[in-house]
Amino acid sequence: MSPITATTTQVPVGEIHCQQNPYSRELQTTCIECSEKPDKKGFYQVKLHDTVLFPEGGGQPFDTGFIDDIQVYNVQRKKLEHIHYTKQPVPVGKQVLVKLDWERRWDHMQQHSGQHLLTAVLEQAPYSVDTGSWNLGATKCFIELQTGEAKKQRMPTPEELVIVEIRVNQLILDAVPVIVHTESFDESSKPESLPDDYVGGGTIRRVEIQNLDLNPCCGTHVAHTGHLQSIKLLHTEKARGGNTRLFFLVGQRVTDTLGTSLNVSRQLNNLLSVPQEAFVENVARLQQARSANQKTVKRLMGELAGYVAAEIGRRINKEDTDVVMLYREDADMEFLQTIQLAIRDQNILLGGGGGDGASNSNKVVVLAAGEKHLGGPMMIAASNDGALQQVAKTVTAALDIKGGGKGRWQGKAKNWKGIDELQKQLDQLKINA
């Protein structure tokens, strides 16, 4: 099942149209190979003679676009070949028009050239900290600075990073030319940073930010730093091995992110009815009030539990009642525990709840909490273990519940659908322990 091929060769990675003309948005070319059948994920692999779509590499994500009207979802490099991934086959030998999703590419160019510039400024005195790797994320980028065990370089202080940001923005204002140098390479002149499978001869590209930085790179870059618009440094984060990630945004992402922040600010302004400057103070005050309220609720729930326990005690002391169940949809585990403690403190199951001890020797209390469809915790307390196990058996038969325990039974129900039926059964139940 060999793929269908035409006799034209492919322009190798290093010399493809998008690398030589990064501002080019479309290209007439020929399809030279296409897989007969889609792969397991449903993609055809299409080789074109040349392309305006950049294959993922050097930290820069792949481009998307179209071959005529067929959507290209991904472009990858295999050695020096470039492969387009489509969901429809492209006829081999056909003259095609490749069109680039320019907005996505332009964003990648801004982030990538911006990374080179930021890295260059940090590499120089007085900072002298190297970038080990970088990441172009969907919303944020970061460079990983070599502050870890391997190189132990010093991380610039937050104050220094403010100056770095000003310096990079000044270089953006200066519209410094970005020049790409090319040379053909063999194994002896291959730069270390090139991927291992980058073999078979070809072109090495070195990207220069004029008089500032020169680095091997296969990516697509802006013509001059003025096209970066602006840079904003964000937060830092510790990485593995003690390196430090410095997050940043370049170009349109700065404006977009400010737009998102303003939107959040507007919503908070509506919710809090205070201007942005007062958000922090206002939220801090709300949190204080909330924690005071929580303390009050806890105290009141404790008091309520005392009354509920006393009520349970009153009910259980009736001659004909062996089991009392209390179920509250709005309660939780903590509330059940508080009631259970109150039952213990009031000696309800030991006959201290107003009746005489003998009459309470076979008494059981069942406590349950949680919304009907969500289920929740259950606790069973009894004056003896035989009584406890008898009720637990009735409970597990009636409900979708798992639990266990001696002395005190505890479980968790998936829902309380059977709780009404259980109530009826428990009302009738006679403890025979």
Q: Is 118 in the site for Zn ion (CB under 5 A)?
A: no
CA atoms of 131 and 246, how far apart (whole Å): 10
Q: Which stretch binds Zn ion (CB under 5 A): 155-163, 219-227, 296-304, 376-384?
A: 219-227
114 φ, ψ (degrees, to nearest 5): -60, -40
User: Which one among 52, 67, 136, 217 touches Zn ion, defined by CB under 5 A?
Assistant: 217
The closest of 420, 35, 384, 63 to 220, measured between CA atoms, is 63
- Give the contacts of 145 (CB within 8 A, at least 6 positions apart): 122, 129, 130, 131, 132, 153, 155, 243, 244, 245, 246
**3-state DSSP: the chain helix, strand, coil percent, rounded to 5?**
35, 25, 35
Binding mask 376-395 toward Zn ion (x if CB under 5 A, else -) reads --------------------
Burial 267-301 (b: 16+ CB within 10 A, else e): ebeeeeeeeeeebeebeeeeeeeeeeeeeeeeeeb
> To the nearest whole angstrom, how small is the minimum distance from the Cβ of residue 222 to Zn ion?
12
The nearer residue to Zn ion, 193 or 293, going by C-beta atoms, is 193
> To the nearest whole angstrom, how small is the minimum distance from the Cβ of residue 133 to Zn ion?
11
> To the nearest whole angstrom, how small is the minimum distance from the Cβ of residue 279 to Zn ion?
39
The nearer residue to Zn ion, 26 or 213, going by C-beta atoms, is 213
The nearer residue to Zn ion, 133 or 263, going by C-beta atoms, is 133
- Record the tokens describing residue 388, joined without a space: 């406890």
Determine the size of the site formed for Zn ion (CB under 5 A).
Answer: 3
Q: Are β-strands 323-328 and 231-238 bridged in parallel, bridged antiparallel, or unpaired?
A: unpaired
CA atoms within 13 A on the CB side of 405: 13
> To the nearest whole angstrom, how small is the minimum distance from the Cβ of residue 298 to Zn ion?
57
Q: Rounded to a whole number, what is the largest CA-CA distance in the chain?
A: 103
The nearer residue to Zn ion, 61 or 219, going by C-beta atoms, is 219
Contacts of Zn ion in 40-99 (CB under 5 A): 58
DSSP, collapsed to helix, strand or coil, labels residue 71 as strand
> To the nearest whole angstrom, how small is the minimum distance from the Cβ of residue 149 to Zn ion?
25
Q: Which stretch binds Zn ion (CB under 5 A): 33-41, 209-217, 290-298, 352-360?
A: 209-217
> To the nearest whole angstrom, how small is the minimum distance from the Cβ of residue 24 to Zn ion?
19
Q: Is 219 in the site for Zn ion (CB under 5 A)?
A: yes
The nearer residue to Zn ion, 221 or 253, going by C-beta atoms, is 221
Q: Which residues in this chain contact Zn ion in the complex, by CB under 5 A?
A: 58, 217, 219
